[in-house]
Amino acid sequence: MFSCTECGKRFLSKHRLNRHKNIHTSRYKCTKCGKCSDNSSNLADHMQRHSGDKPFECNICGKRFTTSNDLKIHNIFHSGERRYKCHVCDKAFKMSGHLHDHMRIHTGERPYKCSMCNKGFSKKSTLDSHILSVHSDKRPHSCPYCGMQFKADINLKRHVLRIHTGAKPYSCTHCSTSFVRPDTLKRHLKLHDRIHKCMHCSSTFIQNDALKRHLKSHNEGTGFTCHICQKKFTHYVYLQKHLLNLHSAYVCTECSEQFYTATELIKHQLVHKNFKFCCGLCGKWFKYKANVIHHFKRCFKNL
């Protein structure tokens, strides 16, 4: 990492640092905000932002931009190209600035400090959002349709897209499904990137646990096995239904309830009879023999 001695800003390459240093000695200065640029072209683009005009329109999603460079950067997001790769975790990015921000995950660097609580952040945009949401009550961004106010511009844009326009600019390249927000599209794309594949059939799964449950349908793993025909099931409730439908031979003549064994049927039939078991110590009555035996042991200990 290379640091600027004037402002402390860091860069991944010395070339970018040298370009940045030109700003501190530049004669191209904005008359409205005082920001310096390293050449007249960048200053012209910057001054265009103060005008509020957005003459450059994306021919894919219709979004408009102040400068042609902003539009060029935006078009990168519509392409699938990711040229900038992290040498630590191999994660790839479409823009060098995003790689620069990502590298702070590995270095732990948080150069942007909040002046109010001294909390550090890896990105300036995150710091700005923190100040707006935590330390400020201002809502400078107003919806032109309903007048609702927001702290951040991105929240206003999402509100307008969802409520007033219904536009969904983020489209899936696999199935053409569109979404309002980029993070929703990102979650959707995981459905097309199922990495856990079944070795017996063409089924694929996002999570390994889902694959393990599926493998039980191919008689892999323990599962739940029928003690009569050895057929296996993924859940115990499926085994119960199987036993009732195919192997239940014991049916109650009173209520037609079915049972797997004769013992279970006999025990159940006591429900329909007035026969009861009595405790010889206290005289208490019970419908089931097992209950009176359990009670008798407790009653004997209390003597």
Phi and psi of 274, rounded to 5°?
-90, 0
- CA within 13 Å, CB half, 65: 16
Tell me which of 3.40.50, 3.30.160, 1.20.120, 3.30.1390 is the CATH number of domain 207-301. Answer: 3.30.160
Q: Is 297 helix (H, G, I), strand (E, B) or coil?
A: helix
Token look-up 């310096």 returns 36
CA atoms within 13 A on the CB side of 268: 16
Q: Per residue in 115-156, pLDDT tens?
A: 888 888 888 888 888 887 788 777 777 888 888 888 777 778
Is residue 113 predicted with pLDDT exceeding 80? yes
Model confidence at 90, in pLDDT bands (50, 70, 90)? Answer: confident
Q: Does 221 have pLDDT greater than 80?
A: no
Instruction: Say whether pLDDT at 195 is over 70.
Output: no
Percentage of the chain exceeding pLDDT 90: 0
- Cβ neighbours of 20 (radius 10 Å): 17
Rg (CA), the chain: 35
* Whole-number pLDDT of residue 194: 63
List pLDDT tens digits, range 224-279: 778 777 777 767 777 877 877 777 677 787 887 777 777 788 778 777 776 677 88
Per-residue pLDDT for 222 more than 70? no
Using CA atoms, how far apart are residues 94 and 85, in angstroms rounded to an integer? 9
Q: To the nearest whole number, what is the mean pLDDT of the chain?
A: 78
Q: Could you tell me the residue ranges of all domains in the chain?
A: 207-301
Predicted confidence band of residue 192 (pLDDT cuts 50, 70, 90): confident
